[in-house]
Every structure is written in structure tokens, then in C-alpha cells.
Structure 1
Amino acid sequence: IHQTSAKKMPNNHDTSYSDILRYISSLQKTNPNTVVDIETQPDSLGRNMFRCMFLSYAASRRAFMHSPQVIIICGNYLNWRTRSFLIVAEGIDVERQQFPLAFGVLDGDNTSSWKWFLTKLATIFEDRPELTIFSPRFDFTLQTLSLQFPLAEKAVCIRQLLLNIQQSYRNPEITGLVQRASYEYSKRRFLACYKEIKKMSPHCEQYLKRLGFERWSMAFSNGYRFDVYSAEVNDLRHLSRQNSIMGLLHYIHWHVSSQFTWRYGKAMEHQGYSCSCVALQKMLVPCEHSLVAAQNLGISPLTLVGSVYSTAQWLKTYSEYLQPYLKFRTMR
């Protein structure tokens, strides 16, 4: 655990640092290599109190290694007495389902908060050209993303872009053209849409040009986007409803654990039941991991046992028999 003093920052809420520290210590014992970075501040009695936090499970980072290289980043205010802000980074699996990569609890929705979170994120995820990062807040994130992830492609949230276009120009036809252009894979078709946008609104055309074609269009994208258009995080609404830091930490752990267990079980169904530890495939008997997944999914563990162990198979093994030999005289 990395901890930093922050004496000048106001206290977010009345959860003591010692409670959080005990929880994190317990968490890291059972989940080695989980990254936690906490900043605290002293209260009026000199006790360390929670201020902000970065959290990333080792399991999430390992999962990302086997997933499309897309990171979606979004944030929302927490349902607390103060204006604490939650930032979540999520990946996507091969079924295009989101799963959490990292969480940040900060003191507000501002440039310094986003910079702090993205700087921490850059220490655990490798920057490379194959990586695409989606963010709805380019006003806060573009400079830091360009600094921390210079090789990765930085993409805007198309949904947020369309909302901005609609609010700024109040013309559904322009918004529709921008949407069409952003979805086009062909540069020729993209430029045809872009020409129409320029004809209808030169100001909008200049705005999109300054933004950079590669940030909002599939045709000029340099990376792999896997048909991801939005930086909206599905889990954010439920996470932001937690009313304390300890409540949030407990919910995060339950959420990530149950999500991984459920999807692991569904993946087993797709693959005819397999496990990354390979014991299930090698022995055709459920390992401890598949037993946990089966229990959570309501699947009978017996269905994980290979048919080679069935009574029917056992009977077949000895269903053959030797015919009695004919009597014969021995040679003397």
C-alpha cells in the first residue's frame, strides 16, 4: 500500500484511515499483487482520515491480457455528503461485456483528479499502439493521456460527442451526419459525409477537424476499437450509490468477484467446460475453481465430470467377456 499525506485537502467523510488500512491489508493477503494507492489527511485530533484512493485487482489486470485491448474510462459523483468523485476504468471481453480494471475515489471532477488517476493507471497498463483508450472528458484527460499513453490511440466517446453536437448546433440533421461519418469504415464514404457536414455548418466542420479524425471516426482510426463507440461505464450507476468508502470497497469486491465467477461459468458452457488451471481438461474431474463456478451458477458438479467416469462407461468396460474354450486332449 502506498500512502501520501495531504494536509491541505478537506476531509471527504468520516471513515477512519485505520479501518480502510485493515481492510486493504486483508484484501491484499488473499489477492496478491492487487494495487492500492491511498492518500490521507489528519483530522482535528491528528488522526489519519481517508482522502482519495486508487485500486486495481491483479485478477482484472490478468484478465485484460486475454481481452481486446480497449480501456473505457468514465466518472461520476458519489452519493456522499461531500463532492467525492468516482472514476472507473473498464475493459471488454470477447463477448463485448465490460469488466472493471481500476477504480479511483477522488476529491472532485477536475483536471488534477483525472491526472492523478490516469498517472496511476499508466503504471499498471503498458502503453502500446494496439491499445485504445476511450474517454468522455477530453477537456480533462487529453493532455494527460497524451503524456502517459503516447503510443495508445485516444478516442472520444461518440455518444458524448453527438450530445455536444446536438446541444451546440440544435440541428438533428448535422448530428445524424456526424453519427454516420463516425461509424463509416470506408474513408471515401466518411469524406462524403464530412463534405455534407461542411456544407451545412462550417463551424461544426472546423470543430471536428480540430478534434482530429482519428479520435472520432472508424475510417481514420489507427488502432483496434472492436466496434466500441461509447465511454459509458455500465457499472458506474450502482457503484456511485454506495454511501461510504467502506461500503464502496465491499461492493467493489463483491461485484468483481461475482462478475468473474458468473462469466467464468458461462465461458465454461461455451467451451464444453474448461478451466485455466487445466486440471479439469486433463483429469475430466472438476477442480476447485470449477466447483465454485458451478455452485454460483446453480450447475450440478456431476455435469462437469467426464463421461469416462460414468457407471454406463464402467459397465461398457467389462461388457465384453471371454468365450469358454473347447475341451481338447493334451499331447502326451
Structure 2
Amino acid sequence: MRKVVVVDATHLRGKYAGCLLTASAQDENYQIFPLAFAIVDGENYKSWEWFFHKLLSFLPDNDSVVFVSDRHASIYQGLSKVYPLAGNCACIIHLKRNIKTLFKERQLGYLVSKAARAFRMGEFYTTLTEIRSINQRCADYLVDIGLQNRTRSHFLGDRLNIITSNLAESWNSVLRDAREYPVIPLVEFIRKKLVSWFTSRRDVVKDVDAGLTPKVNSLLAASFEICGGYDVRKLDNDEYEVQDLKGASFVVSLTDRSCSCFEFQKLSIPCSHAIAAVLKANVKVEGLVGDVYTIEYAEHVLPPVELNTSNQLADDIAAISLHPPVTRRPPGRPRKKRFFSRGEVKMKKTHIRYCSRCKGNGHNRATCKQAV
């Protein structure tokens, strides 16, 4: 499992309100792997600190762990106390939305995202120069808020391919309807969802013989297609110079599993330059892929044990008298749709007009050549 954890909170819409805190990662096939979830009264410092303490029981604090989140102050405060050694990164999407809100130029959002995703510092500062030529205040703002936790090129840990909190957003989308349920049905919905996910994923990977996941194999196949026509020269033992079609030269070390484009070491997957060097050296590319991408799936999720009496519970749990949380239900009918984040806008639906023959009389609208 890649030790890059995305944490997020989403509001519940049930009778007693509250928040659902989640921690998710990606499995070896680039799929969502929920690690933990908790139902709390609200998104605050005490809730996040308690949640991180529970997470600490199976995810130890060390410098190889990286957390990705939005810029909520309570998350930062909880991580600094419970996970002081772990890295902390801000979601690039949230940064992009904030830039769009503060500065009105349309192209700034694209350039900020491009700068944050750059693998090399040279690419980052080239894009930063473009941003500075459009809006000096925007460039100064990016430098002032810090680059280490908001850009891929300046981050010192292993962030791999996870640079946004889209994992958590996708998980929240799965739970969209279930967030109206009471606590027990909500937890049971999550358990059944995990059971179905893990079962289907085992069926997909059980017949794979290469040792790598289908997603990684597809990425390697794409790199094989890109490297066609690259000029490769051997410099030393397992060290090669690779020149791409644009004339740019890169140094690949198969021993160190590195490339001067930094994509190889940042993602732990050979880039197109490394693939060209592999073909020159006549070695197997599977041996250069990081161990986190090998197939080894988790155990199944068991259903809860039915307990008839409180005597079967642990003493510290049986003595607790549980009551509903003290919350005030807001007036009006609960919202079905969420509020948009700052800087996020609703996309307008495009309506297509068809000719008079396409008014539901068995005519195929998709293939109508007379559509207006």
C-alpha cells in the first residue's frame, strides 16, 4: 500500500447532523482503498485529533507517510500533534479554486495547476515566470504561502501520483445518498460497499500472472508507445543518455531507478526515457517498478457479530450509556445537493436542437445528420 493518505470530512444530512471523517488511500491498481471512517459531531480540532489517534493504531507515524487534504486548520493542527513526522500536502484543486477566486484572469488557474504538477524545478520556475508576466500579485501569493507542501517539485517526501483529494471526493460521492441514514444503517452501507468492492477487485487480479496490476501495465504500455524514435546512448554500467523527439536529453540510471526528468523516481514507475533505456539494455521492465504496485490484496470484511446481551461486550463498552448527540436540527427541508466550494462554479448544460424528424418517432437522434 502506498503510504499517501487523503483525509476529508463531509456533512451528514440525517436527523442528528454531524460529520463523517474519512481516510483513504489508493491500492496497487489505482483504486480507492478506504482506511478508516468515523462519525463525529462536527469538523473541529478535537474530532480530528481523536480520529488521528485511532488511525495511529495501524498507521505508525514516520517520515514515509504523507497526508493530502484541503486547507482546513483543524486538520493541520491535529496532524502536527499526532503525526509530527509525516508529510502534509495541500490539494492542488483547492489551491486552483482559491486562485480563481482571488485573481480573475482565466489562464491563471491552468498555469497554477501546471506549476504544481511539474516534476522538475526548472519546469516549475518556467511556469512561475509565465504567471508573473500575467499577474505579479498571484506569483507573490504562491511564493508567500509556501511551495514545499503545494508543489510536486519542491515536496521532499514520496507523494507519488496523488496530488489532489479526489479520492475523498469520490468516496463522498459514493456515500451521497447514505449520508441521510441513521448511524447504524450508514455504517452497514459502508461495510457492504467495501465487501462488494474487494470481492470484485480480487476477481480482476486473480488471473494476472505478470505480478503487476492492470493499471500499471497500461501505463507501461503507453510509455512503450511514446519512446519510439528516442535516441539512446550508453554512458556507463546501467546508465544511459536518452534524447527524445524534441531534442531534450535525459540521463537514466537503471541501478538507482532514476531519470533526470524526475518522473521515474517520483512515481516509482519507469518513464518513457527509462523504457527506452530498458530496451537498449535488454532487461525486464517489471523489475524496475516499485514494490507498492505488485498484486497482494487485502482480506475480506467480516459482518458484525450479533450480541444478545451486554455481558458479551467488553467491560469498558458495556458500562457506557449512549445518548443521541446534542444538536439542533436546522429549519426547513434538508438539502439534497451540496454547496459549491469557494471558486467552484456550476457547469451549464448544453441543449441540442434537432430537426422535426427527431421528435421521438423512432428516429435516431444521435446519428441524425440534420440536427441543428
**TM tier, shorter chain?**
0.5 to 0.7
Task: Tell me by how many angstroms 1:272 deviates.
Answer: 7.9
Task: Tell me by how many angstroms 1:170 deviates.
Answer: 2.0
CA distance in 2 between partners of 1:147 and 1:190 (Å): 31
Q: How does 1:196-235 map to 2 (within 5 A)?
A: 196-232=130-166, 233=168, 234-235=170-171
* Deviation by residue 1:84-139 (Cα, 9 ceiling, x = unmatched): 11111111112111111000111123333333322332333112222211111342
Task: Tell me by how many angstroms 1:225 deviates.
Answer: 1.9
CA distance in 2 between partners of 1:236 and 1:186 (Å): 33
Does 2:198 align with 1:260? yes
Aligned to 1:192: 126
Alignment CA distance shift 1:272-1:209 (3 Å): closer
Moved more, 115-124 or 183-192: 115-124
Name which of 156, 175, 184 aligns with 1:239.
175
The amino acid of 1:126's aligned partner reads: P
Q: How does 1:93-132 map to 2 (within 5 A)?
A: 93-132=27-66
Q: Which contiguous aligned blocks of 4+ residues in structure 1 show a shift greater than 4 angstroms?
A: none
Task: Tell me by how many angstroms 1:199 deviates.
Answer: 4.1
Alignment CA distance shift 1:186-1:272 (3 Å): closer
The amino acid of 1:173's aligned partner reads: Q
Q: Indicate the percent of aligned positions where both proteins have the same amino acid.
A: 25
Task: Tell me by how many angstroms 1:251 deviates.
Answer: 0.8
* Greater Cα radius of gyration, structure 1 or 2: 1
SS at match of 2:49: helix
Alignment CA distance shift 1:129-1:244 (3 Å): same
CA distance in 2 between partners of 1:93 and 1:160 (Å): 24
Q: How does 1:32-111 map to 2 (within 5 A)?
A: 67-111=1-45
CA distance in 2 between partners of 1:205 and 1:83 (Å): 40
The amino acid of 2:154's aligned partner reads: F
CA distance in 2 between partners of 1:95 and 1:116 (Å): 30
- What is the alpha-carbon root mean square deviation over aligned residues? 2.4
Task: Tell me by how many angstroms 1:238 deviates.
Answer: 2.9
SS at match of 2:153: coil
SS at match of 1:219: coil
Moved more, 106-115 or 245-254: 106-115
Aligned to 2:73: 139
Task: Tell me by how many angstroms 1:188 deviates.
Answer: 0.9
CA distance in 2 between partners of 1:206 and 1:124 (Å): 40
Higher RCO (CA-CA < 8 Å; seq separation 6+)? 2
SS at match of 2:76: helix
Q: Is the 8 A contact 2:49 2:82 kept in 1?
A: no
| Structure 2: runs of 5 or more not aligned | 212-296, 301-372
**TM-score normalised by structure 1 residue count:** 0.58
Task: Tell me by how many angstroms 1:259 deviates.
Answer: 1.3
Q: Is the 8 A contact 1:77 1:240 kept in 2?
A: no
Alignment CA distance shift 1:209-1:115 (3 Å): farther
SS at match of 1:213: coil
The amino acid of 1:252's aligned partner reads: I
* Deviation by residue 1:46-83 (Cα, 9 ceiling, x = unmatched): xxxxxxxxxxxxxxxxxxxxx11111112211121233
Aligned to 2:188: 250
CA distance in 1 between partners of 2:133 and 2:79 (Å): 33
**TM-score normalised by structure 2 residue count:** 0.52
Alignment CA distance shift 1:196-1:124 (3 Å): same
Aligned to 2:113: 179
Q: Is the 8 A contact 1:76 1:236 kept in 2?
A: yes
Q: Is the 8 A contact 1:130 1:223 kept in 2?
A: yes
CA distance in 1 between partners of 2:102 and 2:50 (Å): 30
CA distance in 2 between partners of 1:115 and 1:167 (Å): 30
The amino acid of 1:215's aligned partner reads: N
Alignment CA distance shift 1:262-1:246 (3 Å): same
| Structure 1: runs of 5 or more not aligned | 1-66, 274-288, 293-332
Q: Is the 8 A contact 1:78 1:241 kept in 2?
A: no
Aligned to 1:152: 86
Alignment CA distance shift 1:128-1:89 (3 Å): same
CA distance in 2 between partners of 1:226 and 1:241 (Å): 32
